[in-house]
Chains A and B, each alone.
Chain A
Amino acid sequence: MIRLLSTLLIGVSSGAIYSLMALALVLVWRSTRVVNFAQAGQAILSTYIGYEVLTHVNNFWIALLVATIAGACVGALVDVLLIRRLARVSGASANVRPVIATLGLLGLISSGVGLIWGNDLKRIATPVGTHGYTFGHTTIPFSPFNLLIVATAALVMAIFALIFQRTNLGLALRASAFAPETARLAGVRVDRTRTIGWAFAGAAGAVAGLMITPQSALAPNSMDLLLVLGFVAAVIGGLDSLIGAGIGGLILGIGLALILEYVSTSLAFPAAFIVLIIVLLIRPQGLLGKLRGRDA
């Protein structure tokens, strides 16, 4: 019983990070209809910036704050300097070009980061303990740091939910995503609003990047797996739904944790991709998505 419970908790903790990455991908997808491969690169860059801050001030919270702001700025810049320009190009491959560009940007950031910080593994210390909680004589793998991850992700999700559902900015963001032409005719500056969406995505990705790093290590391509798992979570949730991203991440995290614990460590990641393909085949709209196009 404790084993199952602790597996579930670990699943929630890693799922929370996948949720944040999925959230970043969904925010961009629904505002701009771009699959943003560069999200991994953006998260790498912001995490290195967080790492740099840590080496100077040695305070995780300040590093997290700086990394999040940096992530938001990088996200906004990617939209303004790259995506917005590519969106103006029309033609047969107009929809593909921004996506390919994000792939190029991912490569560029990864190699650029390698040039600046080197390709060796960097470590980031946790602000709270990583030793699992103990119940009676049993110590479970779930640690205060895991709890911190879950709390941080929940906080980020709650802030986004509040912004999107309760504020004028959220209304503009949703309108720009679902009905850009109607939004423009209502006076919303859709381009600027989209850039804010990219900034939010960058911030969410930055939190994911900095929170996942203490448990592994930082290297120029250490977010690649996180990107892929973020995609799987986003697809499970339906790509268009912020709540879906949250739930998709949790389902994926818990599923992977169960397989790792009860089946086999070598099966967990293949299982993630099998889930991805099955979802795409039998429920392409995801668990919460609608089949109908939303980009009318």
Chain B
Amino acid sequence: MSGLVVKELNVSHGAVEAIRGLSFTVAPGSLTAIIGANGAGKTTLLRALSGLKKAQSGSAFWNELSLLGAKPEGLVRAGVVHVADGKSVIPEFTVEENLDLGGLWRSDKKDVVLAKTEILQLFPALATRLKQHAATLSGGERQMVAIGRALMSRPKLLLLDEPSLGLAPKVIASIFDSLNELRKEFGLTIVLVEQNAVSALRVADNGVVINLGELVTAGPASQILSDPALRAAYLGV
């Protein structure tokens, strides 16, 4: 089985079960949106998949690699990179330092330079701001930096937490467009956690709807978007 396979995953915060018996799969090269209301357990799920949070039981595999119990810095080396929400940009660092941080662990310094060039082509807005402190950036630009930093490590699986948080609709659209571009150009597999369900599903191939830590449904994004019951209950439209 290739791709991301999550089976019977349970994750707790103390006595609270944030993720309960969750199973889903993500095909390699696809863009999957994980949606659900605030508190549905979306962020906890990503934190468990990237090694930041311990899971109680279940399994999660990226191809042959078991994600549970691994350290985040180890998973990065295996191509699994988690982009936490926009606050994960270090405001005291310049744009360039934030980007460079993502390539520090790599020994192939030539490719690190190449990756940076590609990232600046993907996000031209950053190219003129390399020496600027990240604190001076807009929300959208910060998100570009956060995604750019992840790309510096040449990931295979990108776990994105709420890239649309606090952004204007137009900016959200352009970020989502670049995600699509990334997927096509680099063959990335992207798992996108979003509260902004409709925008996310429009760009995604597949959707996974979760509620209170449990799976509601999983399937093609277009199908979820056109299901009136799901729209009313989980998409807020």
Residues of A within 8 A of B (CB): 168, 171-172, 174-175, 178-179, 181-190, 296
Contact = CB atoms under 8 A, between A and B. Distances in A.
28 contacts: A168-B100, A171-B97, A172-B104, A174-B93, A175-B101, A178-B90, A179-B88, A179-B90, A181-B84, A181-B88, A182-B88, A182-B89, A182-B101, A184-B71, A184-B72, A185-B81, A185-B83, A185-B88, A186-B102, A186-B104, A187-B73, A187-B77, A187-B102, A187-B104, A187-B153, A189-B73, A189-B105, A190-B73
A77 B153 CA distance: 31
- Chain B CB count within 10 A is highest, among A171, A178, A296, for A171
Chain A binding site: helix, strand, loop or mixed by DSSP? helix
A182 B72 CA distance: 10
Contacts of A172: 101, 104
Nearest to A184: B72
Interface residues of B, number: 28
B164 interface: no
Given A187-B153, A189-B73, A190-B73, A171 B92 contact: no
B88 A168 contact: no
Nearest to A172: B104
A189 B93 CA distance: 19
B104 A184 contact: no
B52 A186 contact: no
Interface in B53-86: 71-73, 76-77, 81-84
Contacts of B152: 186
A171 B87 CA distance: 18
A186 B74 CA distance: 10
Top 5 nearest A-B pairs by Cβ distance? A187-B76, A187-B105, A184-B72, A186-B101, A186-B102
A188 B73 contact: yes
A187 B152 CA distance: 10
A205 B140 CA distance: 44
B116 interface: no
A171 B81 contact: no
A182 B93 CA distance: 12
